[in-house]
């Protein structure tokens, strides 16, 4: 009856959880001789307030134990006390420790027993999960948590977060000490967490219990260290990398680079690139240029006497306008430090202790933008007090700021960071030279994230506790142009041609360089002043009802103030620019109840979750073709259209997870669950209007349903030789109710806008293999392999025309109804961690060599020679990519309380040159020239018959020329029909399948030795014209220092 009352009370009080941040210790205590259970044995987690006593069956359970390494003491009248050391507790897991007590003899000395080995197979886990300790993080050649997480099976790291099992970064929740670090501007996680503050980090890729909500792919649970009551600790790590370029090859300033040579090479600079000095193959590598003589003549022939220039003065002006330093001259560095301990005078305040951390990262950009680098820093703190017996109060917070260059000109949030993200915006786009040589093509931007919260924990008894947390998470944005250009005339060219500092400085008015480079208008268009704050109140209750059942239930209430305001602004060319704005105050809540059933080794996690969402406010009710969306009428939308209260939503999500031991060394696990996540605010509240004529461009819908994922996972784990864990898992995710943009166009065309509708669906299927070794004093490591394939599509059409005829024509020609089925692209990771034990002494002990390698299968895509060939799909595959990073270190124990470690990290150890399909190409023709120069397999070439002539070979896209020398090979149908042959090219005759060159007036077959060298070095490949962006991230060396002090 008492248990029934407890359960009823919980259901009445609860609504979501305080996310699990602790573990459980349980076991049985028996008499060592008789095997009988001992009743009333006291068990204490030494150094803490946690403890319990055994029940009538000799069973004990201690809940809410923070993750860490402990000693466990059992004492009983008439028996010798025992202490078991090295008891490892992980987040949301059960550590089983059994005691066998011996009757007390004459001596009363405590018996210290080393803990049984940490189990290879964790039996009470019914999902794919990895626990990553601070020691494992410290051994890897990185100090970024996303990079650490990205090494796990099923996970790929990005600079903003991680992608788990084919999802996206906003589908993964990052939880720090129970606080969800989610930016509700776009639902992306904040990941700027100090690695030196971490006690334990757990990542889960499926099978989430009912306590977890608003996630669909992954969960990262991080618990930071807690200040000790009688000891101060200081830990820091710093890394420094000298200035070096983030690309292979020549500098953009090199005299032979794409943006320089036509204007400085004396053979063409004065009279133009088509003067005959360059052969047609060289001309294809550079932009056309008419020559400085022609430019100077135009200045003399116009009506302005003040811009007259000689050819040399015009060239000098070009150099002035391209004077910007694009090479990296400053270093990259990272610093991370944590200080913790007792607060002076805090004994009377419940042994008040603290932890404070600071981290900073500075990464130079591939080329300088409006900011020269990406810089982010964050500081976090944690205060802990044992305010009374069984009661603990924790206050923690984090504040971080990221500074850099906004990665778009539409006002959307985001900063450039990686070399690839920048190279992507400097390839196959317009105004590339402006983006590089002008300082303000994109606006500088800063993003602030901050969170503060308080958690109260009350342990009612060893088997029951509850927690209450109140927290606030906020973010703010500042994106605006830098300082206006100083138009003072500061430099003279020729007799009287004075110029200002252009292309430096922000210029909203037209400005053009001597060679036509844009130096004003259409730059730094982004504006963003958004501010968002989310307040969360949580209550969580946990009780070990009996030996077999652990009950959890909880309540969560969220209130968000979302004031988003961003725009794309162009004062001179306002056409096509827009403003996006909303002020919303949604409310969310949830209820969950779950039971963890443990019976004879089998574990069943059974739960159900209820999510509640109130978007709040009112929204327009409209006909899709309403005149209220036109330029003339949109300012009066509120009077032309009626508004209706937004719809509240309630959803229920069942969750089931089962782990079943097959043998003493293996288990089978299965989980199933419904996951819901909230759409991005942009798909709920956005109203975007054209800044020029005020017509509606896009409208959202706050009544869109919660995005839904149904997950299944089946896995197997096996202990091999008490050293290795083998895990094999398969998963399936069915995705629905995702927002999809549908465009509506009326008969007259004056209404043309998009609306978010829940029409997108998909499914993801995959398998993972992991073999890991996390014990041993000489070697540890892992290898994993992930096979992942997805399908996606949408219901209905992406365009809706009011005119039925136009709609029918569109449906006949559109491929909207087709599912997108990419070819699978598996990937693998390996970590080899070699180290020598400290017991070997100063010179031989504490050496470490850690290697981290990666492989990604090349992606498939369609290549039809630049045109379209019906029936040809995914016919070629890009080359596989490889990575290998290294950490080499040596630790020195200065004393029992201090340790220093010297570190050298090397990224891209073997200097792999992984070519991308996106970087370095000036335009589509440049890309097509590269692809056509490859000697693709004959079966591919046969499909391309009629598009162009393929020379059969073994090339794959991603192959590259290994020398600077370019020897073009031209395929021809018949060598005898070639007109005006080039003396610098080799010709492949399709008729004879042989190579020829033209010398003087005749054709000569190419020498076999010469041809062998050309083929071996791939000298025939027409590389991207911007070769300095073709290969990124060359070998990079960091020098680092780690310092640990206890006092």
Strand 68-76, strand 79-89: pairing: antiparallel
pLDDT in tens, 723-769: 999 999 999 999 999 999 999 999 988 999 999 999 999 999 999 99
Instruction: Report, as an integer, the average pLDDT of 356-364.
Output: 97
Report the DSSP beta bridge partners of residue 972. 989
**In degrees, to the nearest 5, what angle opens at C-alpha 382 toward C-alphas 381 and 387?**
150
Instruction: Report, as an integer, the average pLDDT of 534-538.
Output: 95
Question: Among 42-51, 668-677, 721-730, 980-989, which stretch is predicted with the lowest mean pLDDT?
Answer: 42-51
| Residue 470 forms part of a structural domain | no
pLDDT in tens, 898-932: 999 999 999 999 999 999 999 999 999 999 999 99
Do 967 and 893 reside in the same domain of the chain?
no
pTM of the model: 0.91
**Residue where a domain stops, chosen among 228, 260, 282:** 228
User: Does residue 162 carry a pLDDT above 80?
Assistant: yes
SS (H, E, C) 214-279: CCCCEEEEEEECCCCCCCCEEEEEEEEECCCCCECCCCCCCCCCCCCHHHHCCCCCCCCCCCCCCC
SS (H, E, C) 749-792: CCCEEEEEEEEEEEEEEEEEEEEEECCCCCEEEEEEEEEEEEEE
- Which helix (H) or strand (E) segment holds residue 892: the answer is strand 881-895
Report the distance separating Cα 481 and Cα 519, nearest Å. 14
Report the distance separating Cα 665 and Cα 721, nearest Å. 9
Q: Residue 346 in 3-state DSSP? A: helix
| Residue 899 forms part of a structural domain | yes
Alpha helices per DSSP H over 292-428: 292-301, 311-321, 419-424
| Residue 100 forms part of a structural domain | yes
pLDDT in tens, 208-237: 999 998 998 999 999 999 999 999 999 999
Do 923 and 948 reside in the same domain of the chain?
yes
Per the structure block, which two tokens stand in for 455?
A: 């958690």
Question: Phi/psi of residue 178, each to 5°?
Answer: 95, -10
User: Does residue 537 carry a pLDDT above 50?
Assistant: yes
Residue 248 is predicted with a pLDDT of 95
pLDDT in tens, 473-524: 999 999 999 999 999 999 999 888 999 999 999 999 999 999 999 999 999 9
How many CB atoms sit inside 10 A of residue 881's CB?
A: 18
Report the distance separating Cα 841 and Cα 847, nearest Å. 11
Q: What total of structural domains would you count in the chain?
A: 4
Per the structure block, which two tokens stand in for 751?
A: 């209404």
pLDDT in tens, 291-314: 999 999 999 988 888 889 999 999
Q: Residue 260 in 3-state DSSP? A: coil
Do 865 and 990 reside in the same domain of the chain?
no
Report the distance separating Cα 674 and Cα 655, nearest Å. 7
User: Does residue 992 carry a pLDDT above 90?
Assistant: yes
pLDDT in tens, 389-411: 889 999 999 999 999 999 999 99
| Residue 984 forms part of a structural domain | yes
Instruction: Report, as an integer, the average pLDDT of 333-356.
Output: 95
Report the distance separating Cα 980 and Cα 1003, nearest Å. 12
Question: Phi/psi of residue 301, each to 5°?
Answer: -90, -15
Residue 20 is predicted with a pLDDT of 62
| Residue 160 forms part of a structural domain | yes
Between the CA of residue 353 and those of 70, 381, 389, 459, 962, what are the distances in Å? 19, 11, 16, 19, 60
Per the structure block, which two tokens stand in for 63?
A: 């809940």
pLDDT-based confidence at 2, cuts 50/70/90? very low
> In which region does residue 187 sit, left (phi positive, over 0), alpha (psi from -120 to 50) or beta (all else)?
left
Are 173 and 219 in contact, with CB atoms under 8 Å apart?
Answer: yes
Q: Is the dihedral of CA 1002, 1006, 1010, 1016 positive or negative?
A: positive
- Which helix (H) or strand (E) segment holds residue 1023: the answer is none
Report the DSSP beta bridge partners of residue 895. 898
Per the structure block, which two tokens stand in for 957?
A: 């896209």
Residues in the chain: 1047
- 52-56, 354-358, 944-948 — most confident range: 354-358
Residue carrying structure tokens 């400097």: 426
pLDDT-based confidence at 886, cuts 50/70/90? very high
Report the distance separating Cα 129 and Cα 826, nearest Å. 20
User: Does residue 21 carry a pLDDT above 90?
Assistant: no
User: Does residue 964 carry a pLDDT above 70?
Assistant: yes
Residue 813 is predicted with a pLDDT of 85
Mean pLDDT score of the chain: 92
Q: 741, exposed or middle or buried, with CB in 10 Å at 0-12, 13-18, 19+? A: middle
Report the distance separating Cα 826 and Cα 822, nearest Å. 12
Residue carrying structure tokens 């595959």: 877
The CATH number given to whatever domain includes residue 187 is 2.170.130.10
Alpha helices per DSSP H over 198-271: 261-264
DSSP code for 17: -
Are 355 and 340 in contact, with CB atoms under 8 Å apart?
Answer: yes
User: Does residue 983 carry a pLDDT above 70?
Assistant: yes
Question: Among 113-117, 648-652, 660-664, 687-691, which stretch is predicted with the lowest mean pLDDT?
Answer: 113-117
**Residue where a domain stops, chosen among 90, 114, 138:** 114
DSSP code for 106: S
Instruction: Report, as an integer, the average pLDDT of 708-715.
Output: 96
Report the distance separating Cα 223 and Cα 235, nearest Å. 16
User: How far does Cα 869 stand from its chain's mean position?
Assistant: 36
How many CB atoms sit inside 10 A of residue 334's CB?
A: 20
User: Does residue 49 carry a pLDDT above 90?
Assistant: no
Q: Residue 603 in 3-state DSSP? A: strand
DSSP code for 704: P
What is the share, in percent, of the chain residues with pLDDT greater than 90? 78
Core vs surface per residue 524-550: b (16+ CB within 10 A) or e: bbbbbebebbbebbbbbbbbbeebeeb
Do 93 and 25 reside in the same domain of the chain?
yes
Residue 879 is predicted with a pLDDT of 96
Do 58 and 6 reside in the same domain of the chain?
yes
| Residue 927 forms part of a structural domain | yes
Instruction: Count Cα neighbours of 1024 within 13 Å in the Cβ-side half-sphere.
Output: 26
Do 899 and 993 reside in the same domain of the chain?
no
Kindly calculate the radius of gyration of the chain based on its CA atoms and give it in whole angstroms. Answer: 33
The CATH number given to whatever domain includes residue 102 is 2.60.40.1120
Measuring CA to CA, which residue among 501, 500, 503, 498 is closest to residue 519?
503
Q: Say which residue, 1001 or 255, is predicted with more confidence.
A: 255
Instruction: Report, as an integer, the average pLDDT of 431-445.
Output: 97
Q: Residue 149 in 3-state DSSP? A: helix
Report the distance separating Cα 1010 and Cα 860, nearest Å. 33
DSSP code for 634: G
Structural domain range at position 84: 2-114
- Which helix (H) or strand (E) segment holds residue 573: the answer is none
Report the distance separating Cα 276 and Cα 41, nearest Å. 97
pLDDT in tens, 113-122: 766 677 888 8
Report the DSSP beta bridge partners of residue 890. 847, 902
Do 96 and 144 reside in the same domain of the chain?
no
What is the share, in percent, of the chain residues with pLDDT greater than 70? 97
Reply yes or no: is the peptide bond before residue 503 cis, omega within 30 of 0: yes
How many CB atoms sit inside 10 A of residue 647's CB?
A: 14
Instruction: Report, as an integer, the average pLDDT of 126-138.
Output: 90
pLDDT-based confidence at 820, cuts 50/70/90? confident
Are 950 and 969 in contact, with CB atoms under 8 Å apart?
Answer: no
Do 194 and 137 reside in the same domain of the chain?
yes
Do 166 and 200 reside in the same domain of the chain?
yes
Do 850 and 927 reside in the same domain of the chain?
yes
Between the CA of residue 775 and those of 118, 124, 132, 561, 726, what are the distances in Å? 9, 20, 13, 48, 14
pLDDT in tens, 781-811: 999 999 999 999 999 899 999 999 999 999 9
Are 734 and 709 in contact, with CB atoms under 8 Å apart?
Answer: yes
Do 859 and 938 reside in the same domain of the chain?
yes
For residue 748, what are the contacts with CB-CB under 8 A and spacing of at least 6? none
Residue 653 is predicted with a pLDDT of 96
Residue 50 is predicted with a pLDDT of 87
| Residue 206 forms part of a structural domain | yes
Strand 531-544, strand 464-479: pairing: antiparallel
Do 857 and 884 reside in the same domain of the chain?
yes
| Residue 965 forms part of a structural domain | yes
């Amino acid at each position: 009856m008492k248990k029934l009352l407890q359960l009823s009370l919980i259901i009445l009080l609860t609504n979501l959880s305080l996310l699990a941040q602790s573990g459980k210790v349980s076991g049985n205590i028996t008499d060592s001789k008789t095997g009988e259970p001992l009743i009333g044995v006291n068990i204490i987690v030494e150094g803490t307030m946690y403890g319990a006593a055994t029940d009538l069956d000799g069973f004990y359970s201690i809940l809410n134990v923070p993750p860490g390494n402990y000693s466990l003491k059992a004492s009983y009248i008439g028996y010798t006390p025992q202490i078991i050391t090295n008891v490892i507790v992980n987040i949301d897991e059960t550590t089983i420790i059994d005691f066998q007590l011996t009757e007390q003899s004459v001596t009363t000395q405590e018996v210290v027993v080393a803990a049984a080995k940490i189990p290879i197979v964790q039996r009470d886990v019914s999902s794919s999960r990895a626990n990553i300790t601070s020691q494992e993080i410290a051994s890897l050649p990185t100090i970024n948590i996303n990079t650490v997480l990205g090494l796990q099976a099923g996970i790929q790291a990005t600079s903003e977060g991680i992608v788990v099992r084919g999802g996206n970064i906003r589908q993964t929740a990052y939880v720090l000490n129970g606080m969800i670090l989610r930016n509700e501007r776009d639902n992306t996680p904040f990941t700027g967490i100090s690695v030196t503050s971490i006690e334990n980090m757990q990542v889960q890729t499926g099978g989430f219990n009912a306590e977890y909500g608003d996630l669909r792919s992954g969960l990262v649970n991080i618990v930071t260290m807690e200040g000790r009551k009688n000891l101060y600790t200081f830990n820091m790590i710093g890394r420094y990398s000298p200035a070096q370029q983030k690309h292979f090859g020549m500098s953009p300033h090199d005299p032979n680079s794409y943006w320089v040579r036509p204007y400085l090479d004396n053979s063409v600079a004065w009279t133009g690139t088509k003067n005959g000095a360059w052969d047609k193959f060289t001309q294809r590598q550079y932009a056309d240029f008419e020559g400085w003589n022609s430019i100077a003549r135009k200045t003399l022939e116009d009506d302005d006497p003040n811009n007259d220039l000689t050819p040399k003065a015009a060239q000098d002006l070009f150099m002035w306008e391209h004077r910007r330093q694009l090479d990296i001259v400053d270093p990259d560095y990272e610093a991370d430090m944590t200080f913790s301990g007792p607060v002076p005078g805090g004994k009377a305040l419940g042994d008040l202790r603290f932890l404070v951390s600071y981290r900073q990262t500075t990464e130079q950009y591939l080329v300088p933008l409006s900011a020269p680098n990406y810089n982010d820093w964050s500081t976090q703190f944690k205060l802990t007090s044992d305010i009374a017996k069984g009661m603990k109060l924790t206050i923690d917070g984090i504040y971080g700021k990221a500074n850099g260059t906004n990665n778009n000109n539409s006002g959307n949030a985001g900063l450039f960071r990686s070399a690839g993200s920048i190279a992507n915006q400097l390839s196959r786009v317009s105004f590339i030279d402006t983006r590089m040589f002008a300082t303000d093509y994109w606006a500088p931007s800063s993003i602030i994230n901050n969170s503060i919260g308080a958690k109260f924990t009350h342990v009612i008894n060893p088997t029951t506790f509850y927690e209450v947390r109140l927290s606030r998470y906020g973010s703010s944005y500042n994106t605006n142009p830098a300082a206006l250009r100083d138009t003072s005339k500061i430099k003279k060219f020729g007799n009287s041609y004075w110029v200002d500092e252009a292309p430096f400085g922000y210029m909203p008015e037209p400005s053009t360089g001597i060679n036509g480079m844009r130096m004003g208008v259409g730059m730094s268009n982004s504006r963003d002043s958004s501010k968002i704050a989310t307040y969360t109140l949580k209550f969580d209750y946990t009780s070990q009802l009996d030996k077999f059942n652990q009950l959890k239930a909880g309540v969560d209430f969220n209130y968000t103030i979302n004031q988003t305001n961003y725009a794309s602004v162009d004062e001179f060319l306002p056409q096509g620019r827009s403003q996006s704005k909303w002020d919303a105050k949604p409310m969310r809540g949830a209820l969950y109840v779950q039971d963890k059933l443990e019976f004879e080794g089998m574990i069943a996690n059974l739960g159900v979750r209820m999510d509640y969402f109130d978007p709040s406010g009112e929204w327009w009710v409209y006909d899709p073709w309403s005149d209220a969306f036109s330029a003339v009428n949109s300012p009066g939308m509120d009077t032309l259209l009626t508004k209706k209260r937004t719809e509240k939503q309630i959803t229920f999500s069942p969750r089931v997870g089962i782990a079943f031991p097959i043998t003493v060394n293996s288990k089978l696990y299965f989980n199933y669950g419904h996951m819901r996540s909230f759409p991005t605010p942009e798909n709920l509240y956005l109203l975007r209007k054209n800044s020029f004529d005020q017509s509606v461009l896009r409208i959202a819908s706050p009544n869109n349903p919660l995005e839904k994922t149904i997950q299944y996972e089946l896995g197997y784990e096996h202990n091999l030789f008490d050293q290795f864990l083998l895990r094999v898992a398969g998963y399936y995710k069915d995705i629905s109710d995702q927002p999809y943009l549908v465009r509506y166009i009326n008969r007259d065309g004056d209404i043309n806008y998009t609306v978010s509708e829940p029409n997108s669906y998909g499914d993801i299927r995959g398998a993972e293999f992991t073999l890991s070794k996390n014990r041993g004093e000489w070697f540890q490591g892992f290898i994993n392999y992930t096979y992942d394939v997805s399908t996606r599509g949408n219901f209905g059409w992406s365009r809706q025309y009011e005119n039925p005829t136009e709609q029918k024509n569109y449906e006949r020609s559109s491929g909207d109804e087709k599912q997108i089925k990419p070819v699978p692209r598996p990937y693998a990771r390996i970590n080899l961690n070699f180290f020598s034990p400290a017991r070997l002494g100063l010179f031989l002990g504490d050496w470490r060599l850690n290697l981290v390698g990666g492989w990604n299968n090349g992606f498939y895509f369609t290549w039809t020679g630049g045109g379209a060939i019906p029936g040809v799909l995914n016919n070629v595959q890009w080359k596989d990519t490889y990575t290998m990073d290294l950490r080499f270190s040596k630790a020195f124990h200065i004393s029992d309380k201090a340790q220093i470690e010297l570190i050298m990290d090397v990224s891209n150890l073997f200097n792999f040159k992984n070519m991308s399909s996106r970087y370095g190409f000036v335009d589509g023709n440049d890309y097509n020239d590269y692809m056509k120069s490859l000697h693709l397999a004959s079966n591919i070439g046969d499909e391309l018959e009629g598009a162009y002539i393929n020379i059969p070979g073994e090339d794959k896209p991603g192959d590259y020329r290994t020398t600077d020398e370019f020897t073009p090979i031209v395929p021809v149908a018949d060598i005898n029909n070639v007109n005006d042959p080039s003396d610098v090219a080799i010709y492949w005759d399709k008729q004879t399948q042989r190579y020829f060159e033209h010398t003087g007036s005749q054709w000569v077959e190419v020498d076999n030795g010469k041809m062998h060298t050309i083929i071996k070095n791939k000298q025939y490949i027409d590389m991207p014209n911007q070769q300095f962006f073709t290969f990124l991230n060359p070998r990079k060396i960091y020098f680092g220092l780690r310092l640990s002090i206890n006092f």
